Amino acid sequence: MRITGLGHAGMFIETTGGSILCDPWVKSAFYGSWFPFPDNRALDWETYGKADFLYISHRHRDHFDPWLLETYVPKDIEVLLPDYPTDDLETDLRALGYTNITYTTAGEIIERGSLRMMVTPLRAPSDGPIGDSSLSIDDGTASILNQNDSHPLDLEALLSFSKPEAYFTQFSGAIWWPMVYDLPEDAKRNFAHLKREAQHKRAMYYIEKVGAPHVFPMAGPPMFLRDELFRYNGLGQENDSIFTDQAEFIARLHEESPQHTGHVFIPGTVVTIEHGEQTVEQTLFTDAEIQAMFDDKWGYLEQQRATRQAEIAEEEASRAPILPPAEMLAAIKEWWEPLLRRGRIFRDGVGGPVRYTIGDLDMVVDFPKAKVREYAGEETSYWFTIPADLVSTNIRDHEIDWSNSIFLSMQFAAGRVGKFNEFIYTFMKCLSRDRIEYVENWYGEQTDVTEDVQLGDWIVQRRCPHLRADLSKTAKVEDGVLTCSLHDWKWDLASGKCLSTQGHPIRAHAVEDELHAEATAPAAV
């Protein structure tokens, strides 16, 4: 088996049973904000486009590049479609002309001669754009796991496919926190450090659980080449950003877990595995070039910024004309109010009005009343400032996922009083009837917390209130605080209160309380 890195999460996998093109991305994403790091334009895309199978893990635009697919990938390629609750990804692919679609099923193996493949989907509201997935591959000569951006809860089921010899996984996930928030600079630096540590702990958790001897960190970080975002590359020019790079992660992996060998996986990296023997070579960049791009990262990024300004200008020119405030308010009101009326759990979860300043429009989404209206001067616990051309473009395109467009662009500002509220952001990526109804039902099903588990001196509900991870496997308890390692959310066990966000209480009590209750209970007659 031979795996060629295509940049970010992209890879071209050659097996004894055919070749697989995974998540190819070249053009800038999220309104011209993200670019693959390092630059991957010099790859032989004509060759990679002639694969036997196409696998797009999810709809995020750093994984799904319509321009590249239309330019290089034939329409008759067999598409491995993850089993998602809504058909948004299938609709996108069919709109590009792809009809040879294989509908995969979670946990089921697809066989093409000597090639065995399994796509494992995730379906929680926070999994990518309502869905994320991983790809397991075995062709008799080697077995690999392309976990991509996904954070699977049931690793036992995933690893039942085979024991991976090489593990490809996200290590530097992208989010807008805390860079876009209205915070003092010292607070931003502190929060950025905490976010980087949480991402690192999650990556290490999976590396230890998967147990593959060779680890290839991928799916990040991106390059930010817009002038206003340039300072947020890597750890940030003010140490207030969250993007660890490959070399930094591998150095720390070697220090903390030397039994796992980390490899730089960038455009042109070729990994060959055959019956336990593995080689890694770089074919696009020389060793000296790779050394320079990490040692003098800001110099490399400056060079890249100079070469991509025309692409940024082209993206800006493609945006919709700015709608007048009254017309914009009417369009959002007509679109969102029917969804708000269907989103009872969303409305209760947000619990108050949220303010949006969009160019000259100052509006409020009143979640409890399911209304969109002009801002009336009331106090709000959350507020956003968003460029009017981005919102006008989303209205023109009827973009149902504002996380997969505006928020990941980082071309907005936010503020809040109190904790993070996931319901606001989840609503903003569920701007269709199908998505609202699915996520409402998903949240409703999370109330099943009847099974308990003992963790040290505490009896705790077995399933995490966030995404139902098995806390007997993912939790750590210290000084009465439970931390779920998958997303680093925390709970105070004495009160059951979530320390990371609003809502999501946990059911817990001390073991000694249970023993006391048993000791003082009346004897049976």
Which part of the chain has CATH 3.60.15.10?
Answer: 2-173+196-236+243-312
How would you class 50 by CB atoms within 10 Å of its CB: exposed for 0-12, middle for 13-18, buried for 19 or more?
middle
d(CA 353, CA 368): 7
Q: What is the CATH number of domain 2-173+196-236+243-312?
A: 3.60.15.10
CATH 3.30.1050 range(s) for the chain read 325-443
Q: What percentage of the chain exceeds 90 in pLDDT?
A: 82
Q: Are 201 and 485 in contact (CB under 8 A)?
A: yes
146 phi and psi angles, rounded to 5 deg:
-100, 90
Considering only residues 449 and 494, tell me which one the structure prediction assigns the higher pLDDT. 494
pLDDT for residue 514 is more than 70 = no
- In contact, 82 and 121? CB cutoff 8 Å: yes
Q: What amino acid is encoded at 252 in this protein?
A: R
Give the mean model confidence (pLDDT) for residues 111-129: 92
pLDDT for residue 524: 42
Are the C-beta atoms of residues 138 and 159 closer than 8 Å to each other? no
Q: Which of 222, 204, 181 is nearest to 27 (CA)?
A: 222
Q: What is the pLDDT of residue 119?
A: 97
- Band (pLDDT 50/70/90 cuts) for residue 518 is very low
Residues 11 and 63: their CA atoms lie apart, in Å, by 11
Q: For residue 448, name the pLDDT band (cuts at 50, 70, 90).
A: low
Do 223 and 26 form a contact (C-beta atoms < 8 A)? no
Over residues 10-39, the mean pLDDT reads 98
CATH class as words, domain 325-443 = alpha beta
Put simply, whether the predicted model's pTM sits higher than 0.85 gets the answer yes
Residue 523 has pLDDT above 50, yes or no: no
Q: In b/e form, how buried is each residue of 414-445, taking b as 16+ CB within 10 angstroms?
A: bebeeeebbbbbbbbbbbbeebbbbbbebbee
Q: What is the pLDDT of residue 500?
A: 85
Indicate if the pLDDT at residue 504 is higher than 50.
Answer: yes
Across 135-157, average pLDDT: 94
| pLDDT for residue 525 is more than 70 | no
Quick one: which of 155, 167, 147, 186 has its CA closest to 63? 147
Taking the alpha carbons at both ends of the chain, their separation in whole angstroms is 70
Rounded to the nearest integer, the mean pLDDT of the chain is 93
Lowest mean pLDDT among 84-88, 112-116, 398-402: 84-88
pLDDT digits (tens, 9 = 90+) for 343-390: 988 899 999 999 999 999 999 999 999 999 999 999 999 999 999 999
